[in-house]
Amino acid sequence: MNQIFKQFVIALFLFVGLAFALHLLLLNVADLPLFENKIIASYIVNIILALIIFTGLFLLRNKFKNQIGFLFMGGSFLKFFVFFLFFLPVFKEDGTTDKLEFASFFVPYAVCLLIETLGVMRLLRD
């Protein structure tokens, strides 16, 4: 397995795990419910999508080196599609999306996006 890919997987699980722990800690300190708002599903789905997207980019890095950025943006579109298709309808069941619901998806999305971006930068440099 390529070193860049290994480092990506390690960083993804490490930083998403830390974000999850910090997220739960902040919810606990604020005396808010820990495991509502599909928080576990949000973290799992974002990790799976990040792995799928980066694996695809990694496998296509030589053949489509000049298009990796566009493919990466397509992966971000895929994440938003999943959010609007699966998470937003559940969040809007009560007619509104509150801050906790938004954070339960956006925090893992942002962390995964940052790790993916750094991984893609490394792919493009090599």
Residue 79 pLDDT > 80, yes or no? yes
Query: What's the pLDDT score for residue 97?
Result: 67
Query: What's the pLDDT score for residue 16?
Result: 98
CA dihedral 98, 113, 21, 31 (to 10 degrees): -10
Looking at the structure of the chain, the number of domains it has is 1
pTM for the whole structure: 0.89
Which residue range is the domain that position 23 belongs to?
Answer: 3-125
Residue 1 pLDDT > 70, yes or no? no
Residue 11 pLDDT > 80, yes or no? yes
**C-alpha distance from residue 75 to each of 10, 50, 120 (Å):** 20, 8, 12
Residue 120 pLDDT > 70, yes or no? yes
Question: Mean pLDDT in the chain?
Answer: 89
Task: Look up residue 31 and give its DSSP letter.
Answer: T
Enter the tokens of residue 113: 């996006």
Burial of 40 (0-12, 13-18, 19+ CB in 10 A): middle
Mean pLDDT of 89-95: 74
pLDDT in tens, 38-67: 889 899 999 999 999 999 999 999 898 889
Query: What's the pLDDT score for residue 73?
Result: 93
Enter the tokens of residue 48: 């799976």
